[in-house]
Homo-oligomer: A and B are copies of this chain.
Amino acid sequence: VAGRARARRTRTYAQSGVDRGAVGTALRALLANVHPLVPPEHGVPVDLPGHYAGLVRIGRETIAITTDTVGTKVQLAERLGRWEEVGEDMVAVNVNDLAAVGARPAGFVDTIVCARPDAARFRAIGRGLHAGLTKAACALLGGETAVQGELIHGIDLGGTAIGFFPNGRAPVTGARIRPGDRLIGIPSSGPHANGYTLLRRVVDEANVDLRRPRPGGSVPVGRELLAPTRIYSEWADDLASDAGVHGYAHLSGGGLRNLVRLHPAVRFTVDRWPTVPALFDWIAATGGIAEAEMFQTFNMGVGFVIVADAARAGTILRRLASIGAKDAVEIGRIDAGRGVVVPDRGLRYSGYA
């Protein structure tokens, strides 16, 4: 349990841009003494180190659980006075992690910590929650709103999602990934909810007016940056019982490095990355950020990756098109080796953290 929890936490820090050393030290301290003895009749955790969700066998079902917050993207919402997008993100960041283990979403609880309850803001957040829950086909089972006026200025948005594996289908873990497999990418809708600490620094240092379009853009750049996280759970669920699906990756904090979480002993060769959306090029140019940093901080246009048996990749792409993900494309393959490489950009990542 300690290993799994530590691995999952690291992602959060990559995402928030804080000192990974200090955070790693604190998390090791947190987990050093957490090793409760739990009798099997209370459920049996399924060991899946470093993966996107925790799994526990409960009676005749295996339940997946994941908890995450929208993070510092909320501060962009605050600046723009727009809350619907981050309301949707509360659901998206969690159900996409369920999707990455092939779990079908079944329930969500939201967590709001705020200085004071504001009806207009809550109404907009609710509209976003509804949009996210509808796309994920996930029920709202409860929630917690903590008013902590002395602790917080503004608002923190997060939640927890649970999912399951219908009809006894197996979790999608990446264990069956092997050289020759193909990588299929499904595009993102923007930076999703990752990289916003860096983004804000870029925007502030360049005195960007968030209410005007960037060069070449047609809507205010603040709106572009705030776009809600695309939700992949429907497609991941649909394909999870296909034996040709060997692994799923949600490209959240850590960008391309997320691929390494699926298998430690193969190489993810990303040689057919689609054209990077202009928004990310603008971020890189405005902030003077190197490509290697961009690809390990942002999703760069692809939010979810399916590792598929080569013989099934075409069928899977056609299936994706028929169920609504027409823009899914092949982006690379699995080779012998380790880590992630992007040959035509000269990028190489050896690990996740």
Q: CB within 8 Å of B: which residues of A?
A: 1, 4-5, 8-9, 12-13, 16, 18, 22-23, 25-39, 41-43, 45, 53-56, 58-61, 63, 65-69, 71-72, 74-75, 104-107, 109-113, 116-123, 125-127, 129-130, 133-134, 137-156, 158-160, 162, 164, 166-167
Smallest beta-carbon distance A114→chain B, Å: 9
A142 & B107 in contact (Cβ 8 Å cutoff): no
Q: How many copies does the complex hold?
A: 2
Question: Which one, B43, B117, B130, contacts A35 given CB within 8 A?
Answer: B130
Instruction: Say whether, besides A34-B129, A140-B36, A141-B56, A151 and B150 are in contact (CB < 8 Å).
Output: no
Chain B residues, Cβ within 8 Å of A65: 107, 109, 141-142, 160, 162
Find the residue from A1, A53, A117 having the highest chain B CB count within 10 A. Answer: A117
Bound CA span A18–B4, Å: 38
Question: Which one, B38, B39, B63, B118, contacts A162 given CB within 8 A?
Answer: B63
B162 & A162 in contact (Cβ 8 Å cutoff): yes
Smallest beta-carbon distance A199→chain B, Å: 14
B142 & A54 in contact (Cβ 8 Å cutoff): yes
Chain B residues, Cβ within 8 Å of A23: 117, 145, 147
B130 & A26 in contact (Cβ 8 Å cutoff): no
A45 & B144 in contact (Cβ 8 Å cutoff): no
Using CB atoms, name the residue of chain B closest to A141: B54
Chain B residues, Cβ within 8 Å of A129: 30, 33-34
Closest 9 CB pairs of A and B: A54-B141, A26-B117, A43-B106, A36-B133, A29-B123, A160-B160, A54-B142, A30-B122, A30-B126
Using CB atoms, name the residue of chain B closest to A154: B151
B74 & A166 in contact (Cβ 8 Å cutoff): no
Bound CA span A8–B143, Å: 7
Q: A8-B143, A36-B140 are in contact. List 5 more A-B contacts (CB 8 A).
A: A12-B145, A22-B116, A22-B119, A63-B63, A151-B154
Find the residue from A61, A146, A155 having the highest chain B CB count within 10 A. Answer: A146
A42 & B139 in contact (Cβ 8 Å cutoff): yes
Bound CA span A112–B68, Å: 10
